[in-house]
Structure 1
Amino acid sequence: MKLKPVSLDVFAEAREEAHVVLAQGMGRLAPGEHVLRLGVGMDGQERPLSATLALTVEGDGGPEDMVGVEGRYFDNFVFLLACGLAQTLSYGVMYLRSPAVESGEGPSWTVQAWHLAWGVLSECSAAEAAELIGDGEVAAFVDAPGVHSEDDGDAEAVYPPVAYTIL
């Protein structure tokens, strides 16, 4: 299947939304080493494309914490997320692996996930995250927060599927 083209304006808006999503997510990270992974597939594509972004947060858990990322990996991640948000025939999952609060025994990682479908990135419950990712991750799955700005009203992506019509 051949994908329908999207206009440069739609892609620019999707790229802006990808930046908002990452800013919202990174603003909530506790100090430590985190890994954000994204897999995006589209109808007619044999295998999903993937991107990984290592995030290092230094600080005391306050608003002045410094988040470190490597530029080229950040750009690749934003590009792939923007592709998924701009194309309604996309699907995938984004998940964040973070250090667990030390509590003795138990998983040393927590995992949050977001489901990508029809150009919309939606948070997953802990149960949904475990179902999507579970087998390969030994972690505590937790409910994911919304990744869109508080101004988004109903917490949906800025780009509902109806916005992607052929121009």
Structure 2
Amino acid sequence: MQLQPVSLDVIAEAREEAHAVLATLMARLAPGEHVVRLGVDMEGQRPVSAVLPVTVEGDGGCDDLVGVEAKYFDNFAFLLMCGLAQTLCSGVLYLRSTGVAGQATVRAWHLSWGALNECPAAEAAELLGGREPGAYEDAFDLHAADDGPECEAVYPPVAYTVL
């Protein structure tokens, strides 16, 4: 993949934003199995994708255990960083969640001009073209921490590393 040149400051900002987005996403996940997918299409390049399987164990409270494998996390964070740093790119990030009761939900975010924007349920269904079975729901904001209770789930150590 050949990227357009960007400053080191832009890369540093994008890296920080990518990790903040992933931390916010993991903090919002309920117990169950989740798969986060990211597809990025950069001008003049072949589309690139990454997958991040996430398992959340617990009761939905502050002590939930969030599990991801380092290799998937690193690849996903790197691609998200590239997408956020390159303004001439587009893509979609979507989350497929299967709760402990077996119900599946799908949420999507549109990546454009270096920012992730939440998609309403209908737009997510249209954007994904029905490829993902499940009930489509409105996406939540990934750019701000939840203003809920002052607690934090237990994230895997890789979630705290900086690329």
TM-score of the aligned structures, taking structure 2 as reference length: 0.84
Q: Give identity over the alignment, percent.
A: 68
Tell me the equivalent position of 2:137: 142
* CA distance in 2 between partners of 1:71 and 1:102 (Å): 27
* CA distance in 2 between partners of 1:41 and 1:79 (Å): 14
* CA distance in 2 between partners of 1:19 and 1:37 (Å): 15
* CA distance in 1 between partners of 2:35 and 2:100 (Å): 16
CA RMSD of aligned residues (A): 1.8
Tell me the equivalent position of 1:160: none
Tell me the equivalent position of 2:51: 52
- Give structure 1 stretches of 5+ with no counterpart: 152-167
Q: Deviations over 1:111-159 (max 9, x none)?
A: 00000001011010000100011321111100000001259xxxxxxxx
* CA distance in 1 between partners of 2:6 and 2:50 (Å): 22
1:18 aligns with 2:13: no
Deviation at 1:4, TM superposition (A): 3.1
Where 1:34 maps in the other structure, the secondary structure is strand
Where 1:19 maps in the other structure, the secondary structure is helix
* CA distance in 1 between partners of 2:145 and 2:38 (Å): 23
Tell me the equivalent position of 1:130: 125
* Contact 2:92–2:108 under 8 Å retained in 1: yes
Q: Deviations over 1:34-84 (max 9, x none)?
A: 000000011111x31000000000111002101000001101000000000
* CA distance in 2 between partners of 1:101 and 1:55 (Å): 13
- The number of equivalent residue pairs is 145
Matches within 5 A, 1:13-162: 13-45=13-45, 47-100=46-99, 102=101, 108-150=103-145
* CA distance in 2 between partners of 1:12 and 1:76 (Å): 16
1:9 aligns with 2:9: yes
* CA distance in 2 between partners of 1:17 and 1:34 (Å): 21
* CA distance in 2 between partners of 1:134 and 1:101 (Å): 26
* Contact 2:32–2:99 under 8 Å retained in 1: no
Where 1:144 maps in the other structure, the secondary structure is coil
Where 2:60 maps in the other structure, the secondary structure is coil
TM-score of the aligned structures, taking structure 1 as reference length: 0.82
Where 2:61 maps in the other structure, the secondary structure is coil
* CA distance in 2 between partners of 1:128 and 1:16 (Å): 28
* Contact 2:30–2:99 under 8 Å retained in 1: no
* CA distance in 1 between partners of 2:129 and 2:96 (Å): 12
